[in-house]
Structure 1
Amino acid sequence: MAKGEKVGMREVSERAGVAISTVSHVMNGTAPISEEVRERVLEAARELGYLARRSARASINAVNRALLAVPEDALPDSDVNLVSWTILNALTRDCEARGVRLVPHTLRRDDPVEQVGAEARAARADGIIVINDDRSALLDAIGRSGIPAVLINGEDPNMHIDSVTPGNRFAALKATRLILDKGHRRVVHLTWAGRKTVERRLDGFLDAFRDRDLPLSDALVIRAEGFEPRHGEAAVKAWLEAHPDRDGATALFCAADNLAFGAMRALKQAGLRVPEDISVMGFDGVALGELHSPPLTTVSVPLEQFGRAALDLLEARAKSGQAPRAAHRLELGCDLVLRESIAPAISQPPQNIE
């Protein structure tokens, strides 16, 4: 057929050598069709591009407008918000491809949690997309609104709304196993409080020690005040001042690349070399990691896939109407990116010996 020419069931029926009604039954599942005929129809539909176009049309029927609720601290365009901006940019592209209009809404801690649902109704939104904010009160209120909703990069412990998140616990387990495989036995986990997703990374860190029957006393935990590089730098600086011998640790696993960037600054200021004196692992896989000296070994999170997966869940929720549908929590797998900030463990020299 000529490029750009409209393809419908008639063209599929001609290519497959069946009646138009047979094509309709195959596409809609409205009558039993033999496996041989079904495969022939589907093959013709694939060859003509009809199947892809039909799927694309179906994916935009239920949600044409969505309220995008984002915490105000995720909005500034800066190096410390690369994770949020990568998610937002990919989501915007996915929405444009599907014809979904986004209506932005800033989440502020002092605002009533019911405000998100009210804003969505005022905007005549078909759904709500929340990014990074997994406060239980907020998610419970959105669930009560009755508007289809999905949370990106967060967890809803009460499972009132659908969510898409990295496989944080398993990814942290995999990352810590790599560190242990390098011979490190006393490892520090640098994290911060407040996010359920980040707590899962701590869980995975501890899981690795349990799996190897290693004492949890060798799994050290430092909590920074936040996720920014300056917070990581301050936390590691304070730890080094309190523990000049690093408490025997030979590796540092950070719950975010941002923390790792700050930690590496603090280590350098203390005269320590990475990875010769102490190995460093990050988590997120933001672009700046490969530009650091040394380049940062990290957990790569599929940030650009969150939007597509979230829209699929939102569409399915919107299409289900009032039919019972349990909340779905979709975890996406993460990969390790091996660079130069991790090295095999070596015995530490005695400290403070003249």
Structure 2
Amino acid sequence: MPQNRKVGIKDVARRAEVANSTVSHVLNGTASISAEVRARVLEAAKELGYLADRKAKATISAFGTVLLAVTDDALPENETNLFSWTILNALSRDCERRGVKLVPHSETGNLSAANVISAAEKARADGIIIINDDRGDFLAGISASGLPAVLVNGEDQEMRIDSVSPGNRFAAQLATNWLISRGHRKILHLTWDGRTTIRRRQDGFWDAFRAHNLPLEDAPVLHVGGYEPRYGEEAVRLWLQQNGGLGGVTALFCAADNLAIGAMRALAAEGHAIPEDVSVIGFDGVALGDLVNPPLTTVKVPLEQMGPAALSLLEQRIVANDSERVAYRLELGCGVVERESVSTLS
């Protein structure tokens, strides 16, 4: 092929040994094409550089099938699982919009790298999207397979695969700064012994105190049994009993909206008015926050954007087709949603 000549559909069709119209249908999603033919056309387009050129114009998807690897507790839609469910729902919608087949693979408990890789190969998946599971040994196994993969709502601390997560540490610092700017100086942080993403929220909480030269003794952390509301309720009730009341705390910063909802139940049951006696702020921005009384101030996580962002990262890696490409870590910005559960101190 002469240099400087633009590659066109005819060149792709010739390389893939299909009709020009077949290439057009594959690239534009205008007809049902078999997986084998679609893969052959995309491979030819990639080899000739036509795929990257079209992708620069955002006109096609570079893949046809993606394996979704997730533990089964993240799949059901219920009041304690709105975080994961919202991510999955947005991912599913974006796959449908792009004409990408999403093949779910779930396991009880931790995911197995061997099982995920086997499922991806069986589905002839172009890549893998992993939800939540960021254990080091698991990610090492996925990385060693050579299959393009993106982790959603987790951190690969060794930066072996691409990942998308909220900017947890910065968002927690933002929320704590916001409370401090409203006069709060002793703030209790409710959290649980979760994954790295949850620990980042505790880091950000303390970052804000350090930035304001406030003593960390006034930033106590209360570790509870999990993220469900009952754990927040039990822990706050015990805190109130042990401290003979609020113990000087004027605000609670909870690492999840579920914990905040449970904390509010305990505070109300013990006769503490919100926000008159104590302020409460959550983290996640799930739908239930505006249904409690008073409506919950929270840190809004862009849940609807995480799945589409992961698909875009996966697509970039597939198009680049470069084994030396370094892992990308994408953190999405969060913001405070002001409702009625936080007061300003004079």
Q: Are 1:174 and 2:174 matched, yes or no?
A: yes
- The aligned residue for residue 208 of structure 1 is 208
Partner of 1:242: 242
Question: Bigger CA drift: 157-166 or 69-78?
Answer: 69-78
Alignment match, 2:40: none
Partner of 1:43: none
- 2:138 maps to which residue? 138
**Alignment partner, residue 157 of structure 1:** 157
1:93-108 correspondence runs (5 A): 93-108=93-108
2:70 touches 2:111 (CA, 8 Å); kept in 1? no
Give 1:245's aligned amino acid.
Answer: G
Task: Check conservation: 1:152, 1:165, Cα contact below 8 A.
Answer: yes
Matched residue of 2:341: which SS? Answer: coil
C-alpha contact 2:302 2:332 (8 A) present in aligned 1: yes
SS at match of 1:79: coil
Whether contact under 8 Å (1:166, 1:331) holds in the other structure is: yes
1:229–1:251 Cα change, 3 Å: same
Residue 78 of structure 1: how far off its partner (Å): 0.6
**Where does residue 91 of structure 1 map in the other structure?**
91
Deviation at 1:24, TM superposition (A): 4.5
Q: Which residue in the other structure is 2:251 paired with?
A: 251
In the alignment, is the contact (CA less than 8 A) between 2:229 and 2:261 conserved in 1?
A: yes
Task: Give the C-alpha shift of residue 53 in structure 1.
Answer: 9.1
Q: Is the 8 A contact 2:71 2:108 kept in 1?
A: yes
Counterparts in 2 of 1:23 and 1:233: CA distance versus 1, 3 Å? farther
Describe the superposition over 1:161-213 as per-residue Cα deviations: whole angstroms up to 9, x where unpaired. Answer: 10000011111001000111111111000001121111110000000000000
TM-score (norm 1): 0.81
1:293 paired residue number: 293
Once the two structures are superposed, residues 38-81 of structure 1 have per-residue CA deviations (whole angstroms, 9 ceiling, x without a partner) of: xxxxxxxxxxxxx99973444x12x2111101122112221111
Say what the alpha-carbon RMSD is for the aligned residues: 2.0
Contact 1:56–1:98 (8 Å) recurs in 2: no
2:81 aligned counterpart, secondary structure: helix
Letter in 2 for 1:272: H
Q: Assess, with a 3 A threshold, how the Cα gap between structure 1 residues 124 and 287 changes in structure 2: closer, same or farther.
A: same
Q: Distance in 1 between matches of 2:228 and 2:194?
A: 14
Give the 3-state SS of the residue equivalent to 1:252 in structure 2: strand
Conservation of the 8 A alpha-carbon contact between 1:209 and 1:215: yes
Contact 1:297/1:342, CA 8 A, preserved across alignment: yes
CA–CA distance in structure 2, aligned partners of residues 326 and 52 of structure 1: 23
Secondary structure of the 2:185 match is coil
- Matching of residues 263-342 of structure 1 within 5 Å: 263-342=263-342
Task: Provide the aligned length of Structure 1 versus Structure 2.
Answer: 299
Counterpart for residue 57 of structure 2: 55
1:33 is matched with: none
Return the alpha-carbon distance in structure 2 between the equivalents of residues 309 and 111 of structure 1. 22
Q: In 2, distance between residues paired with 1:158 and 1:69?
A: 20
> Residues 244 and 148 of structure 1: is their aligned pair in 2 closer, same or farther, counting only changes over 3 Å?
same
**Is there any run of 5+ residues in structure 1 with no aligned partner, and where?**
1-20, 26-50, 347-354
Q: So what's the TM-score if we normalise by structure 2?
A: 0.82
- Amino acid in the other structure paired with 1:312: S
Supply the AA of the counterpart residue of 1:335. Answer: G
How far the C-alpha of 1:22 sits from its partner, in A, is 9.7
Counterpart code for 2:307: G
Larger radius of gyration: 1
Q: What aligned pairs does 1:1-80 form with structure 2 within 5 A after superposition? A: 24=6, 55-58=57-60, 60-61=61-62, 63-80=63-80
Deviations 1:314-340 (A, max 9, x none): 011112224311100000001110111
Give the conservation status (yes or no) of the 8 Å contact 2:160–2:327: yes
Report SS of the residue matched to 1:164: strand
Counterpart Cα distance in 1 of 2:140 and 2:241: 43
**SS, match of residue 230 in structure 1:** helix
The one-letter code of the counterpart of 1:299 is V
The 1:147–1:244 alpha-carbon spacing in structure 2 relative to 1, beyond 3 Å, is same
| Contiguous gaps of at least 5 residues in structure 2 | 8-52
**Which digits, 9 at most, give the CA deviation of each residue in 1:60-114, with x for residues without a partner?**
12x2111101122112221111111111110001101111111111133366432
Q: Report the secondary structure of 2:113's partner residue.
A: coil
Contact 2:192 2:225 in 1 (8 A): yes
Maintained 8 Å contact 2:71/2:111: no
SS at match of 1:92: helix
Structure 1 Cα separation of the partners of residues 195 and 345 of structure 2: 31
Task: Give yes or no for the alignment of 1:194 onto 2:194.
Answer: yes
Alignment CA distance shift 1:102-1:238 (3 Å)? same
Q: 1:343 to 1:143 in 2, by over 3 A?
A: same
